[in-house]
Amino acid sequence: MAGGPFSVVLVVQEVFGVHEHIKDLCRRLAKSGYFAVATELYARQGDVSKVTDMKDVMAIVKEVPNVQVMSDLDATLAWAKSTGKADVAHAAVTGFCWGGGIVWLYAAHNPKLRAGVAWYGPLNREATALQPQHPLNIAGELKVPVLGLYAGLDKGITSTDIDLMREALKQSPVRSEIIVYPDAQHGFNADYRPSYNAADAKDGWQRMLAWFNAHGARAKA
């Protein structure tokens, strides 16, 4: 697409890294008028594209410090600005699975963002030295409004966690929202997974674009 600058959307990877699905989501956002970019956020710890066992994937992910991820997303915005094609003053972030959890954290970290959309991101996990924060314990510190898109049949993210997050969001200085698709499973937007739900994925995508637009991260026609 010619022209610009375009509002930036940071696309935060699934636990499996920046694979073809994440690249495709970036292309879809670009076609909608955004400068979309996905960064390999645990490249220093290991290349999960070459790992087939989920236990080995998680062993890499557990070594990724939250502070590193926040810094790398900041650096991605700085790089985007350097291209001359990106409008970082109207930036947003979206993420999927592991990346959905990162969206909540980055919305508490970077007050210069306009909006965030978290797709079925974990809300409540045990704190570690490298990953001391999770969405539930920073909900009251959000600086950016986040739309959470969650699945009613998710076996890993319970309705209890969602209820706790909704309650915690009442302490936030910004207005966020959580939508639950009752018949969806975790990963319902991932069209390469058996859990893909075309109707809910389409609705979620439309809600995401509307959320960006409503909070100042507008696409350029």
Q: Which two tokens stand for residue 24?
A: 């495709």
Question: Is 97 annotated as catalytic?
Answer: yes
Residue 37 bridge partners (DSSP)? 10
From 145, 143, 148, select the one nearest 124 (Cα to Cα): 148
Is there a contact between 105 and 190 (Cβ–Cβ < 8 Å)?
A: no
Sign of CA dihedral 179, 189, 172, 111: negative
How many other β-carbons are positioned within 10 Å of the β-carbon of residue 166? 15
C-alpha to C-alpha distance for 129 and 215, rounded to whole angstroms: 34
> Would you state the torsion angle of the CA atoms of residues 15, 16, 20, 21, taken in this order, to the nearest 10 degrees?
-40
- Annotated catalytic residue, options 90, 109, 134, 186: 186
Residue 151 bridge partners (DSSP)? 181
C-alpha to C-alpha distance for 108 and 88, rounded to whole angstroms: 17
Question: Is 87 annotated as catalytic?
Answer: no
Is there a contact between 105 and 143 (Cβ–Cβ < 8 Å)?
A: no
- Annotated catalytic residue, options 109, 134, 154, 200: 154
- Annotated catalytic residue, options 97, 134, 161, 200: 97
C-alpha to C-alpha distance for 143 and 165, rounded to whole angstroms: 16
Is there a contact between 90 and 216 (Cβ–Cβ < 8 Å)?
A: yes
Give the residue numbers marked as catalytic: 97, 154, 186
